[in-house]
Structures are given as C-alpha cells and as structure tokens.
Amino acid sequence: MSNSPETAAPANVALSSPVTAGPRCERPVDHQFPSTKSTLDDLAIFGGPPAFAERLHVGRPNIGDAERFIDRVRDVFDRRWLSNHGTYLAQLEERVVTLVGCRHAIGVANATLGLQIACRALDLTGEVIVPSFTFAATAHSLAWEGLQPVFCDVAPATHNLDPAHVVKLISPRTSAILGVHLWGLPCAIDELAGIASDHNLKLFFDAAHALGCSYRGQPIGNFGALEVFSLHATKFVNAFEGGIICTNDDALARRVRMLANFGYGEGEIPEIVGTNAKMHEASAAMGLTNLESLGEFVAVNRRNYHAYRAQLASVDGVRVIDYPEREDHNYQYVVVEIDGARATLTRDELLELLTAEKVLARRYFFPGVHRLAPYRATDGAAARLPVTERLCESVLLLPTGTTVSVADIQRVAELIRFALLHGASIRARRASEMGAAATI
C-alpha cells in the first residue's frame, strides 16, 4: 500500500489486505534456519544452533526509495546548498504540515535538541513533571536546560503519564508538564490539558514515537503548546538523524525558528540567544524520501503487529500491548509485558534465551530514568513509581519493521512458546550449569 503524505494521513490497513514490499520498501527476507526446538539441547543457550542465521533487530532502519534519495543528494551537490534552510528542508516541513494538519513544522538536527529548544521557547523554570518510563533524552533535555525533572508514574494500560499522579506532584516550583506519547499511544491529552490550565502550567509533548498517530481522530502534532517528533535512524520514518517541532502558535513557531538558528529572525542580526540546531539538506532529503513510503512502512508494521498478536494470544503470562484500531497508528513497536510469575521465566531470562537465538529483543526503558546515575539521588522517586518499577522489569520489545517477515515472527513466537512451556526446566538447568561453572 502506498500513501503519500501530501494527500492523506496514514490510514488503517485492513488485516486481510495484501502487504507487499514496493519499490520504496525493503522486501522482508526469511532469516529462519530450517530447524525446530523440540528439546532443551536444541536451545542455543545449551549449545544448540541459533534459530536465525542473521540477527533480528527491534529498530533496524527502514529505507525508502534509495535511488530517489540519491537523486536528491546529487541535486544538493549541484545546488551547493548543503544546510541553512535549503530546498529539501522546506519541502520536508511542508509535507509534515500537510500530514499532521498543524500550522508550523520546524525541522531540527535531532529530537533531543528539539526538546531543549522547546524548554527555551516556553521560558520554563524550576520543575517539570515528566514520566520516568521513557528514553533518557526526555529527562536529559530538561536537565541540560537547568530544569528539575520530577518523575511521575504511568498508567498500566498505555504506559503514559498518570494524570492523577501528575496532580499530586505539582508544587510552587512546577512550570510545565512534559508528556510522552510512548509507543505512539497518545497521552491522556484532555485530562493533562485541564490540569495544566487549572494550575497555570505549560503543557508540551515528546512525540518521538508518534508520527502518523492520532488522538480522538486528530493527528498528533496539534496538542499542547508544541510537540516534538523524532526522525532518528531507529524510527519508522527516519532522516538519518533529525527531529520536527510542530505547533499551531505563530509567535511560538517564530521563536523556535530563531532559537534553532543562532537567534536570527528575518534580519541579519540575532535577536535572541540561540543555538545551532538546523537540519542539513542530506537529512532533509532522507526524511522527505522516507515520508513518501510512510504508508508502506505502516502497512508492514501493522501486518507484523497482528501476526505477533495472533501467535502469542494463547501464551500465558504474555501480554501484547493494545493499539486502538479506531485511531491512526504507525505500529512501530511490538511491545509485550512478561509476567514472570505466570510465564515461568522472567523477562530477563527470556531475553537471554532469545538473544542466544539471535533474536535481539530489547528491554525498553530499563532500569527507568529515575534509577540512572544523574537522577537516582534527587527525590526518592522509586518508592512512588510502582507501575514504572513493574514495567522496567517486564517490558520486552520484539523485532519488527520492513526487514522482518511473517515467517520470522512465527519462529520468534515458537521460541517464546517453547521457552515458557519448559520454563521451570530451563531455569533449573541454567542454575545447575552456573553452579558447576562456579566450582571450577
């Protein structure tokens, strides 16, 4: 399926729709070895051959029409306009405005700088309430700007900010709430907006995962004071490195542009203190090229997501996080929670087994930002983040994207089912082997 961002937001793709890799979408390949796991000796952790010849990754980059990208780079060379608001950056920003339906889209070098610029543009001070269950860059962007991250717990179903906990954390020093649309699932935007209004706080969003997603039928990118998308290489639409700041506030957009360009406005003399966060033309050309394959990427992601759901539906102790079919979604991540008590193996035990089979699942966002060295001594957050603490021990992301086939997914699911069916025996044998090794 092809869906041009010039004409439409990414539509939901019927599960029965054929999904093929077109000329701008890398064709999935079958990485599976012709072997099955029928005994413990077959497992790679016990000396058997890995289930896959090549490693399966969670975030292997999607690549659109490579020839079209190369043509654009040649054009950049011919123009000798490599940066400083070139043609392709302007086109990329226009495409995002059309896709999202917002008034302004400002390209920046990366989403972390985008969040830092957001903090400056909003004149934030003191404390900012933020989830701990997120990538470290969310909190780092606050700390880099001299702000104090105040870590908030998240809702069990969505892994996003819990509005009830947000209210409890507001203090006289609080200036803003920074929500994260984790996995592309939107925050409880209306509730957070009400809290921000009631307490005279700024509200903005880290939308790194949420390009092409919607909230109550409206695309992400239109909420809060501004929202920041990521176009990092691991995102389903990438610009090598890059970020996009979206806002419907004209004055705020002008300030963001100045902050990202040394403080320059329309004249030849800087108006404010700014930095250099501009996106160069090679990244813009890559982002523009990949946006043209957005519909194809979403179709493959959605196919893979539903394949995992079908394969893992009957596995006790494994929950695949839900994406609402009534909304647009990019299905960029396949997120599972492993209940160690019911599943017979803990998340980390299962991860070790899968890694040996060359399935490079990931435990996002372990151990929680509140437990990282820069933050763990700040406010004793761990005791008041029970959901975050549980998720840090149970969440596992499984490989997906345009380089992962349905056959690969069936094999990964087979490994998980086999491992959890024999979890007690696997654990006992691992303990015996480790004990024997320790006595040598």
Provide the 10 A C-beta neighbour count for residue 254. Answer: 16
Query: Structure tokens of 283?
Result: 């990244």
- Distance in angstroms (rounded) separating the CA atoms of residues 86 and 95: 15
Per-residue pLDDT, 383: 79
Whether 184 and 213 have beta carbons less than 8 Å apart is answered as yes
Averaged pLDDT score across all residues of the chain:
91
For residue range 201-240, what is the model confidence (pLDDT) as tens digits?
Answer: 999 999 999 999 999 999 999 999 999 999 999 999 999 9
Whether 45 and 352 have beta carbons less than 8 Å apart is answered as yes
Cis-peptide into 50, omega within 30 deg: no
Whether 106 and 94 have beta carbons less than 8 Å apart is answered as no
Per-residue pLDDT, 117: 98
Q: Tell me the domains of the chain and their CATH numbers.
A: 40-60+293-361+399-433 (3.90.1150.10), 66-291 (3.40.640.10)
For residue range 133-156, what is the model confidence (pLDDT) as tens digits?
Answer: 999 999 999 999 999 999 999 999
Q: Is the dihedral of CA 135, 141, 143, 144 positive or negative?
A: positive
What does pTM read for this prediction?
A: 0.90
